[in-house]
Amino acid sequence: MSDLICVGAIAGAFGVQGEVRLKSFTADPLAIADYAPLTTEDGSRSFDLVISREIKNGFAARMTGIVTKEDADALKGTRLFAPRDCLPSLPDDEFYHADLIGLEVFDTGGAPMGKVKAVHNHGASDLLELMIPGQSKTVLLPFTLDAVPTVDLASGRIVADPPEGLLD
């Protein structure tokens, strides 16, 4: 498990005064400001931030070291990370997406199904994108209790009971 968790991303400039468009990936979107200073993935830059206002698809925010529109645009796509120990601990049935990526997935009979490539959420619920051995395509597995009855972070494995026809 990584010591850093991605909590947001810079989506570009907002206006011409150095504000950024900020996407928050935290359960409470405003809570992203509570985890500052945020860093880039490689830790080379660190930012304090103040959320100015809510905008479509995120927030307008001021970040240290970003004073012009060009500064903000140059950081477009930059993912922002917070130390894991700054984040709240989760209930037993909730997981940080970063902890699920890379886990091996087995069916209920113990046969390997693949590995978690990514976690997606398009509004309804989370989906695990699985890389299937020997195939170039991936499969989306609903991350529900019915389809994924067991997540064992300690052993790095997930037990899945995929819906009928998912892997055909």
pLDDT at position 1:
47
Question: How far apart (Å, rounded) are the C-alpha atoms in residues 162 and 147?
Answer: 5
Q: Is the pLDDT of residue 76 over 80?
A: yes
pLDDT at position 125:
81
The domain limits of the chain are 4-85, 97-160
Q: What is the pLDDT of residues 6-22, one digit of tens each?
A: 999 999 999 999 999 99
pLDDT at position 168:
66
Residues 4-85, CATH architecture: Beta Barrel (2.40)
| Domains 4-85 and 97-160 fall in the same CATH topology | no
Question: Residue holding tokens 């479509």?
Answer: 56
Question: How far apart (Å, rounded) are the C-alpha atoms in residues 132 and 167?
Answer: 9
Two structure tokens written together for 85: 């120990």
**In one letter, which amino acid is 26?**
T
Please give the residue that has the higher pLDDT: either 122 or 162.
Answer: 162
| CATH number of the structural domain 97-160 | 2.30.30.240
Q: What is the pLDDT of residues 82-126, one digit of tens each?
A: 998 888 888 878 888 888 999 999 999 998 999 999 998 777 788
Residue 138 pairs in a beta bridge with 131
Longest pairwise C-alpha distance within the chain: 58
Q: What is the pLDDT of residues 54-68, one digit of tens each?
A: 999 899 999 999 999
Q: What is the pLDDT of residues 15-58, one digit of tens each?
A: 999 999 999 988 889 999 999 899 998 989 999 999 999 999 89
